[in-house]
Structure 1
Amino acid sequence: MGTPSTPTTEMTVDLRAVSDWMDTRGLPDGDIVDANALGGGTQNIMIAFTRGDRSYVLRRGPRHLRPQSNKVITREIELLGALATTDVPHPRLVAGCTDENVLGAVFYLMEPVDGYNAAVSLPSAYAADRAGRHTMGLALVDALATLGEVDHHAAGLSDFGRPDGFLERQVPRWLGELERYASTPGYPGPPFRNLDAVADWLQRNCPNDFTPGVLHGDYHVANVMYAPDEPRVAAIVDWEMATIGDPLLDLGALLAVWVDGPDSTDLLDSALGAAGGLPSRGELIARYAETSSRDLSAITWYMVVACFKLGLILEGTYARACAGKAPREVGDRLHRYATELFDRAGAFIAQA
């Protein structure tokens, strides 16, 4: 039986319990070594380690579980297992544990991804290669188009979401979020002068129909890992918001925060965006259309609803910051992003 060689208190996870559970799964025996906590875009815990002749990454909910944490991780287990039969680049699932008695939370093991996060930094070769960065931008769409073509029924995900009425629910849902925190103490209220106009335009122009598919739910450059040796996406990561809906919402979200010109940065302030030389929105849309069977005639609607949704989500953090429940500098920064997103929504509508 394998035993951990790293103090469990440093990892916030009982590695001995993990090792014992791995024995029951028939995974390669040995001590757990080289355990390291990994940072990420969420508060979920991720730990990389080696056991036997194989490397793993463990993922579970945060140390202090939220009400839906275990449900979210359980859904990730289901989704990653289903994606194994597809061409979608993703972290390969090794095994999942829904028995909360093992670690006090649902968790799973996945294979490590050999790659880097271009939102954080770029290898020197790509930092100096404008053509390579252009290809990296197109690669974001290539991976997304592959996801959009997945037959979720064939992949065993028929019950993974509620696609009926999915698009019609978007505006009421996010306006409901705004109402929920509008009464937060200290919050001056949304300053988006075009809030009502954008909401009205979205409801009047909502697409009548769509083909349901797998929706990542938070697709942008920070949630992919690029291959270290070529400008392609090695894996789409952070699937906690995934569902069955309209995959074009992912494309709209990518376009909403994208650069406004070849040498302007994106709204994520990513290293890739700051480096410049990226394809235009029009090029991304054309690239998606090359391999997708989806109708892109209403793509402006998807861009606008993405601005609307993300802007209201970010404004929620600002409201909490006004009440002293989040760092004020973070709230102010996200408030600026939210304002720019609504400005972009207005510009997209004007250009439609």
Structure 2
Amino acid sequence: MTQDTHTTSTDAPASPSLDVEALSRWMDREGLPGEGELAQARSLSGGSQNELFEVVRGGEKMALRRPPGYAVEGRAKVLMREARLLKALAGTDVPHAALRGATEDASVIGTPFYMMDLVDGWSPMGGGWAAPFDTDLEAKGGLGLELVEGAARMARVDWKAQGLEGFGKPEGFLDRQVDRWLSHLSGFKFREIPGLEETAAWLRKNQPTSFQPGIMHGDYQFANVMFRHGKPAKLAAIIDWEMATIGDPLLDLGWVLVSWGPEGDAMKYARYLDYEGMPSRDAMLERYATVSGLDVSDVDYYVILARFKLALVLEASVARHAKGEADDRVARFGPIVLELMEFAASLSRQVTLR
């Protein structure tokens, strides 16, 4: 789970070590706004996996995303995938920050990077629901419908026509999921996770026989979208595409519904926002099906898979903390992992797929 956000806060710290002269020359070569001007840049808060900067030139605000000072090579590869995805989304109705340019040439500013539009909006990870959604429950419900519609719009994109052939490996995507994540767990397992084997067995037995491949965000939730200011609710952009691939887009729908009511109302740890006023599960499914054109009758499989996968993703951080290799902030993931797997197993006992 990542929480890079595009914020326009005025109290962000000064930009650290960004060569604006070199960047400005590159911007000139790319034909970006403000030819001949020296760009102004400052760092933005919220980036946990990458460095994010606001860049102003030619009267326009843009965002620059680059790897952190460590693990540059691996992070740069992921960033270039993100840039490719953003480029492919041009001309679609998927809300996103439009790509302005990208380069793998580390000689420009010291690392590969890409530039995109700076999103004018807000994230619930910046302090919860913004006004008026914090008090207007009817308006707040629109946020849920906008969230699920964003996933549906991704699912209906003609990804081959948009140049994403080879971006992922959709063949056998569902076949790989259980074994892949159990193998991932084996590399750091340090405790028992009740419900793990039961859930894995159910997922193998109940796997859908086919699916329609599409763009998958991979971590699609309120933490990774931004909304426009004021009502009515409107999705401004989907952000943080580092886990994106071509796979089964219904897994993004399952991710949205990981802690959704009424079943998710009993969760004590896995919810990080107040869901009061959110649309019913049936309303969310109806919106997704209408917009995407996909059959959602097997949605419980995807909710169970999403809980299973998310639990193991978070358990990796919990394991590092247990070994003293991660700070105390990830300790809170410990009970979330157990709850996610508990609810995955309990839902599997209630579900009979067609």
Q: What is the CA distance between 1:67 and its match in structure 2?
A: 4.2
Q: Identity percentage over the alignment? A: 40
1:104 matched to 2:110? The reply is: yes
Query: Which aligned pairs between 1:6-17 and structure 2 lie closer than 5 A?
Result: 10-17=15-22
Following TM superposition, by how much is the alpha carbon of 1:15 offset from its aligned partner in structure 2, in angstroms? 2.0
AA partner of residue 286 (structure 2): A
How far apart are residue 102 of structure 1 and its match?
1.3
The one-letter code matched in structure 2 to 1:249 is: L
Question: CA contact under 8 A between 1:257 and 1:266: conserved in structure 2?
Answer: no
SS where residue 127 of structure 1 aligns? coil
Matched residue SS, 2:215: strand
Q: How many residue pairs get matched?
A: 335
Q: Could you tell me which amino acid in structure 1 is paired with residue 317 of structure 2? A: T
1:1-352 mapped onto 2 (5 Å cutoff): 10-27=15-32, 28-29=34-35, 30-33=37-40, 35-40=41-46, 42-120=48-126, 121-182=128-189, 187=190, 189-190=191-192, 192-229=193-230, 230-260=232-262, 269-270=271-272, 273-274=273-274, 276-327=276-327, 329-352=328-351
Q: TM-score, with normalisation over the residues of structure 2?
A: 0.89
The structure 1 segments of at least 4 consecutive aligned residues displaced by more than 4 Å after TM superposition are 259-269
Determine the structure 2 residue equivalent to 1:4.
none
Structure 2: stretches of 5+ with no match in the other structure: 1-12
Deviation of 1:314 after TM superposition, in Å, equals 0.8
- Separation in structure 2 between the aligned mates of residue 256 and residue 291 of structure 1, nearest angstrom: 20
SS in 2 for 1:21: helix
Taking structure 1 as reference, are residues 261 and 304 closer, same or farther at Cα in structure 2, changes over 3 Å only?
Answer: closer
State the AA in 2 paired with 1:288: Y
- How much has 1:41 moved relative to structure 2? 5.2
SS in 2 for 1:181: coil
Residues 11-38 of structure 1, C-alpha deviations (whole Å, 9 max, x = no match):
23222221121111122221222x2211
CA contact (8 A) 2:105 2:111 kept: yes
Structure 1 letter corresponding to 2:339:
E
Q: Which amino acid aligns with 2:20?
A: L
Deviation at 1:267, TM superposition (A): 5.4
Q: Secondary structure at the match of 2:107?
A: helix
Letter in 1 for 2:342: D
TM-score, structure 1 normalization? 0.90
Q: CA deviation at 1:62?
A: 1.4
CA contact (8 A) 1:261 1:280 kept: no
Shift of 1:60: 1.1
CA deviation after TM superposition for structure 1 residue 269, in Å? 4.7
Per-residue CA deviation, residues 149-203 of structure 1 (Å, 9 max, x unaligned), is 0010111111111111100100011001110112xxxx3x13x221111000001
Instruction: Output the amino acid matched with 2:338.
Output: T
Query: Could you tell which deviates more after superposition, 52-61 or 10-19?
Result: 10-19
Distance apart, 1:112 and its partner CA: 0.9
Give the conservation status (yes or no) of the 8 Å contact 2:194–2:338.
Answer: no
Matching residue's letter, 2:223: A
Secondary structure at the residue paired with 1:284? helix
In the TM superposition, what whole-angstrom CA distance separates every residue of 1:50-85 from its partner, at most 9, and x where no partner exists?
A: 112211100111121344211111111111011002
AA aligned opposite 2:25:
D
Q: Are the structure 2 counterparts of residues 346 and 261 from structure 1 closer, same or farther at C-alpha, using a change threshold of 3 Å?
A: closer
Kept in 2: contact 1:265–1:274 (CA 8 A): no
Cα distance in 2 for partners of 1:161, 1:262 equals 31
CA root-mean-square deviation: 2.0
Secondary structure of residue in 2 paired with 1:124: coil
Gapped regions of structure 1 (runs ≥ 5): 1-7
Amino acid corresponding to residue 347 of structure 1 in structure 2: S
- In the alignment, the residues of structure 2 paired with residue 41 and residue 195 of structure 1 have an alpha-carbon distance, to the nearest angstrom, of 32
